[in-house]
Amino acid sequence: MAMLDVRNIGISFGGLKAVDDFSVAIEKGQLYGLIGPNGAGKTTVFNLLTGVYKPDNGSIQLDGRNLTGKSTIEINKAGIARTFQNIRLFKELSVLDNVKAGLHNYYSYSAVTGILRLPKYHKVEREMNERAMELLKVFDLDKEWDYKASNLPYGKQRKLEIARALATDPKLLLLDEPAAGMNPNETAELMDTIRFVRDEFDMTILLIEHDMKLVSGICEKLTVLNFGQVLTQGETSEVLNDKRVITAYLGE
């Protein structure tokens, strides 16, 4: 059984089909890429998978559980986390507190406990701090734990967003153009980070990406979208040599 099984989902805006009959099956532990030209519907697919949009038709299953039409919070708790093309950190909060925000799915206390600083408050806060620091160490961010997120270099902000997503303990991690705005050295480091996350966390990863070197270097399979429809999908080497992909995606 696939970790993610999406069948024939679609959505229209103002009568225009943004995504039409999209299907994909992603196995546990797979690094899977979703590519296509600007406006092809890639981010719309991510928004459908994460409950930002409700599909007009079709079904979405994660590890055998039907998530079709569920809310963003329900889907996150079920095991799907994401990052965004335009980084969405809590920029005025510290690096540590950004990761702790992702931990609130699993650590909680009542408002009264928090206001009165009862023993449970201190216990939960201590456990959250320890777990958050463990994640920051993975991304070599532990020394900047008390920095404002906005004061981190761009590449480290990308890493922090991934660390925060992992704090929700997902089964599937969606990365929306993680290399956007990065220089070649940062992109190479990001490739290593994504591989490490997959291996260290036994993670299934689906990413949208325009950097073809990154895609060909880490993705095992690809789906190509064009005008909201699947153009082709399969093994990375086969897809990237498909003349239809070259025409649609590379404009050649």
Architecture of the structural domain at 4-79+170-249 = 3-Layer(aba) Sandwich (3.40)
Tell me the pTM: 0.90
Q: How far apart are CA 5 and CA 66, in angstroms?
A: 9
Q: What is the pLDDT of residue 71?
A: 96
Tens place of pLDDT per residue across the chain (252 aa): 799 999 999 999 998 999 999 999 999 999 999 998 888 999 999 999 999 999 999 999 999 999 999 999 999 999 999 999 899 999 999 999 999 998 876 656 555 455 556 666 667 778 888 999 999 999 999 999 999 999 999 989 999 999 999 999 999 999 999 988 888 888 888 889 999 999 999 999 999 987 778 888 999 999 999 999 999 999 999 988 887 776 765 554
- Judge contact between 236 and 33, C-beta under 8 A: yes
b/e map of 207-236 (b: 16 or more CB within 10 Å)? Answer: bbbbbeebbeebbebbbbbbebbbbebeeb
Q: List all residues 6 or more positions away from 93 whose beta carbon is below 8 Å from its beta carbon.
A: 101, 148, 149
Q: What is the pLDDT of residue 242?
A: 82
